[in-house]
A and B are shown apart, each in its own frame.
Chain A
Amino acid sequence: MSRYEEMFLRLHQRAEGAFGGFLMLGDPDVATSAALLDALVEGGADMMEVGIAFSDPVADGPVIQAAAERALGAGVRVDDCFGLIAQFRAKHPAVPVGILTYANLLAARGRERFMTDAAAAGADSILVADVPSLEAEPYAAAARAAGLDYVMIAAPNTPEPVIRRIAELSSGYTYCVARAGVTGTRDRLALDHDQLFGLLREAGAPPPVLGFGISTPDQVGEALASGAAGVIAGSALVRLGADADGLRELVLAMKAATALPGSQEEQHGRFA
């Protein structure tokens, strides 16, 4: 069983949704970044999403862009990022780690080699933000060959044929975006996901985890109530900067909001 499968099963037994935290690797420097990753786990994060910084992050809003600029400004290289993952893996053997990055970094290293190195470092999955389902096949194949889950993005505007491709090509979880646009925090979530979650379920896609715009415990509860198997908070965590205590507290509060009311259990059981 993969780390994601084990995690969803474990959470299902506890009647909880998954809470995932996103941080940019090497932000603001390698040593601080390692401590912040630990703080996420200490706060109760069930899964980690880690960014490997790219100079031209078109899918990211200002908060994550700034994080990437800080990491690159500190001279962080792709090898340093794999080093951070390996260090994390040694300390936290059960917590799934997903990489979020951009296609050009794979092109530069060689797609197959990038995947192999990521797997060797202890990563569980990879999501390439600027590779849509149209271009996904060779990426999914390379991930599979390296033993990584290949994660894809689904949105409320994603048409049914694409949902079927996601079901076909991806594994681990499905990264569902709460709205059109780039990463960032939002005051209110526009939750029109019931239909999306339904389509994903029918197609047999991996469990839906909702990201983009999750920044408060209330939004975590809302997202899970609407049928997500988990949530990922990114910008809300990243904008706390190097404040490990603040990070731990916010994650603690958000994780506390992942307890499922009884009526939701059955719905989630189908994803577990």
Chain B
Amino acid sequence: MKHDGRFGRYGGCYVPEILVPALEQLEAAFLEAEEDPQFGAELQELLATYAGRPTPLTRCRNLAAGTPARIYLKREDLLHGGAHKTNQVLAQGLLAKRMGKRRLIAETGAGQHGVATALAGALFGLETEIYMGADDVERQQLNVFRMELMGARVIPVTGGGRTLKDAVNEALRDWTASFPETHYLLGTAAGPHPFPTMVRQFQRVIGREARAQTLEVEGRLPDSVVACVGGGSNAIGMFSDFVPDEDVALIGVEAAGKGLNGHEHGATILRGSHGILHGTETLVLQDSDGQVADSWSISAGLDYPAVGPEHAHLKETGRASYVGVEDGDALAAFQALAQTEGIIPAFESAHALAHALELAEAATEETVIVVNLSGRGDKDMAQAVKLLKGAEA
């Protein structure tokens, strides 16, 4: 390895020795691609003409009315595929082609990253297999069908808790035997080096655009930048270009689920402890022996018991702060954005929005808040019907 993949004391590369050659090859290909103008140009073209970048920065006209805050939404929900995930699956897909791989594997929770990987597989002509917890396969038939429609095969994972973390385990096991012809298209800025760095670099286009767009419309930088954090890819992509701007507050929003005092949440940074999971040293929800706990959130994308190591580091250095938003508040923000702006956000993004609303309501003077609207809410409709109509009944 050229780099140790550390963010302070977090990060690193904790995988079985036999998998190290795969990560070395990936690191080498990534570093080479970063320097290669042809790779950059091809990715740029795909992002522009296939995915629809740049995405707009939308000022909310009504949402924060009556407060001194101006809330802007970075519209990753308008990206092809419906979420920020497309940015990095296109980049990793290109990288897989460059390494001469013929097959992609990926993990997925509710299916969003699986769908994104399936589109990359179709676009680049790579055989694609998606590991998905058996319970999630049952719950998310529509996304399973989307993946299959684009030519991917979905493999239900029956081991462990049959959810996202078990799907990651199974993908890693597959890769240990298959890496000569297979690329593991990991879905977030977590996992062993080089994934956290690579995924950040492929997602930082979000913050780069948002920073320039804010400067253009406001003539200054925002006061706060808010993004939801599960594994942490949309947040790290949003934060990275703002990190040197010390006056800009960076706020990550975790899923507080049914409350931070219980066990049903996904607030790894707020409630986790130091550990090593899925190849990286980070914060983990676990018991005192180190057995990993099940996380909980109404939003599948935030339902992960670890977090990308760079977030653990940003928290430790104090450069970013992290807060929790409970299921109910996220759901209220989800409805508020739909009703006041005609935009239906993903449940994940609704967590970030809920915190932005809190900031707006607490503001006593003019303030500019940029929220990463990381995905659209179409995928959450079935669950929203159940939660909202069920609540009325």
Q: Which residues of A contact B (CB under 8 A)?
A: 54-62, 65-66, 69, 72, 77-78, 102-109, 129-135, 152-155, 157-159, 162, 177, 179-182
Contact = CB atoms under 8 A, between A and B. Distances in A.
Contact of B289 (A109, A130, A133, A162): A109
B17 A132 contact: yes
B302 to A, nearest CB: 19
Contacts of B281: 107
Contacts of B274: 107
B16 A69 contact: no
A132 B16 contact: yes
B284 interface: yes
Interface string B7-26: 00000111111111100000
Contact of B290 (A62, A69, A107, A159): A107
**B-side interface size class:** 35 or more
Given A58-B278, A108-B273, 15 more contacts: A55-B160, A55-B291, A56-B160, A59-B173, A102-B276, A103-B276, A105-B290, A107-B290, A108-B290, A131-B14, A132-B16, A133-B17, A153-B17, A159-B21, A182-B177
A27 B1 CA distance: 38
Tell which of B159, B169, B173, B288 has the most Cβ of chain A within 10 Å.
Answer: B173
Interface in B253-292: 273-279, 281, 284, 286-292
B278 A56 contact: yes
A182 B173 contact: yes
Contact of A157 (B21, B160, B290): B21
A77 B169 contact: no
Given A104-B292, A105-B289, A59 B16 contact: yes
A158 B278 contact: no
Contacts of A134: 1, 4, 12-13, 20
Contacts of A77: 289
Contacts of B21: 157, 159
A201 B21 CA distance: 22
A120 B4 CA distance: 33
Contact of A132 (B15, B284, B289): B15
Given A54-B291, A65-B159, A182-B177, A104 B16 contact: no
A155 to B, nearest CB: 5
B92 interface: no
Interface string B167-190: 001001100110100000000000
B355 interface: no
B165 interface: yes
A132 B13 contact: yes
13 contacts: A56-B169, A69-B160, A103-B14, A104-B277, A104-B284, A108-B289, A108-B290, A130-B276, A131-B14, A133-B20, A155-B18, A181-B173, A182-B177
Tell which of B17, B173, B273, B288 has the most Cβ of chain A within 10 Å.
Answer: B17
A55 B15 contact: no
A192 B159 CA distance: 31
Determine chain B's interface SS by DSSP, over half rule. Answer: mixed
Contacts of B287: 108
A56 B165 CA distance: 8
Given A72-B291, A180-B177, A130 B15 contact: yes
A104 B160 contact: no
Given A56-B277, A62-B159, A155 B17 contact: yes
A6 B89 CA distance: 54
Contacts of B289: 77-78, 105, 108-109
A102 B276 CA distance: 9
B286 A108 contact: yes
A153 B21 CA distance: 14
Interface in B201-235: none
A106 B172 CA distance: 21
A232 to B, nearest CB: 15
A20 B23 CA distance: 31
B211 to A, nearest CB: 35
A153 B19 CA distance: 11
A135 B14 contact: yes
Given A108-B286, A157-B21, A132 B14 contact: yes
Nearest to A101: B290
A117 to B, nearest CB: 12
Interface string B283-308: 01011111110000000000000000
Contacts of B160: 55-56, 65, 69
A77 B281 CA distance: 22
Contacts of B4: 134
Tell which of A56, A77, A78, A159 has the most Cβ of chain B within 10 Å.
Answer: A56
Given A109-B290, A131-B14, A58 B173 contact: yes
Contacts of B288: 108
A129 B15 CA distance: 8
Contact of A54 (B13, B159, B278, B290): B290
A181 B22 CA distance: 12
Nearest to B274: A107
A180 B18 contact: yes
B278 A181 contact: no
Nearest to A156: B18
Contacts of A159: 21
Contact of B176 (A59, A65, A78, A107): A59
A157 to B, nearest CB: 6
Contacts of A181: 18, 173, 176-177
